[in-house]
Amino acid sequence: MGDKDTLKDRVDELLINPDAITRVEVFDERTGSCHSIDNVDGKRMSLQIYAAITDNESRITPEAARRGLDIYGEELRTDAARIRGKHTSIDFLENVAACDVPVRSHVITPYSAKPIPRHVREAMPDITRKFGTPIHVYDEDGIRNTCRNFNQAFSWVPGGFKNFFAVKACPNPVLMEIIIEEGMGADCSSAPELTLAKAVGMTGEDMMFTSNDTPDSEFQYARRVGAIMNLDDITHIAALERATGGLPDLLCFRYTGEGKNSII
């Protein structure tokens, strides 16, 4: 399907921002061959196609390779077949499409960029038409999967494992309700964050209190709601004892190594 003149239209429909990608590296373990597409003039459309067909497990499956070949179109594929090596990106996908196993694909992005999941990209036109821009969009399925993968990664911990989400990173009560359902707690740095955690259903040791320059009133409030006290500085021991009249049975400390903030 498609010819050279309409290739850009087909690529634009993928909703991939090439400026958010440095390059794509694909490695075929069967043959040992590697194909790299850099973000340079003449390769940006191939870059977007390869990024679009790379799945969330960093793979390009034979089915996805065939989808990528359809995006390139019959005319470009015919040209590539006529002179082997004329279009190495098409050649590589032809090889993947012909086999029955996926290949590894690494979409390399700048530190500040993260590829948008395909189902979110596809929904964005409707979302922007309905709500306008700028707009923040959260992917609930993605958040839940990340929570589950994170919990699974630490499932080996003897006695169990519980992650405490840093509320200051995103104090959105809807997102906090999601992480509660996925078995996580809330790491709060202030009394308002503790209040927010309580408001979405967290109680007692579901909350951790990690703060700096803490007034006595906030130490007292954290003790009243039963949050785990997580002290950030050795002077906080005396400050907590003074503010609340003693130390709790359970007390945590944040260890930062010697001389620099190298180990949290």
For the segment 155-204, what is each residue's pLDDT rounded down to a tens digit? 999 988 999 999 999 999 999 999 999 999 999 999 999 999 999 999 99
Are 256 and 231 contacting, i.e. CB atoms less than 8 angstroms apart? no
- pLDDT the model gives residue 1: 52
Do 124 and 169 lie in one domain? The reply is: no
Q: Which of 76, 110, 131 is the last residue of a domain?
A: 131
Q: Which of 74, 107, 131 is the last residue of a domain?
A: 131
- pLDDT the model gives residue 43: 92
The tokens describing 50, both together, are 């390869």
- pLDDT the model gives residue 17: 87
Do 10 and 47 lie in one domain? The reply is: yes
Do 86 and 124 lie in one domain? The reply is: yes
Q: Which of 74, 109, 131 is the last residue of a domain?
A: 131
Residue 262 forms part of a structural domain: no
- pLDDT the model gives residue 116: 72
Are 14 and 8 contacting, i.e. CB atoms less than 8 angstroms apart? no
Confidence of residue 219 (pLDDT cuts 50, 70, 90): very high
Do 248 and 159 lie in one domain? The reply is: yes
Instruction: State which amino acid sits at residue 127.
Output: I
Do 89 and 58 lie in one domain? The reply is: yes
Do 111 and 193 lie in one domain? The reply is: no
Are 196 and 167 contacting, i.e. CB atoms less than 8 angstroms apart? yes
Confidence of residue 264 (pLDDT cuts 50, 70, 90): very low
Do 103 and 187 lie in one domain? The reply is: no
Residue 199 forms part of a structural domain: yes
Residue with tokens 């050279």: 4
pLDDT, tens digit, for every residue of 76-124?
A: 888 877 776 678 899 899 989 998 889 999 998 876 666 677 788 788 8
Name the β-bridge partners of 209.
Answer: 188, 229
Domain count, the chain: 2
For residue 244, give its domain range. 140-253
CA distance 44 to 38: 8
What's the mean per-residue pLDDT of the chain?
88
Q: Which residue has the higher pLDDT, 64 or 137?
A: 64
CA distance 254 to 166: 14
Residue 159 forms part of a structural domain: yes
Alpha-carbon dihedral sign for residues 199, 200, 206, 208: negative
- pLDDT the model gives residue 114: 67
Do 184 and 70 lie in one domain? The reply is: no
- pLDDT the model gives residue 120: 82
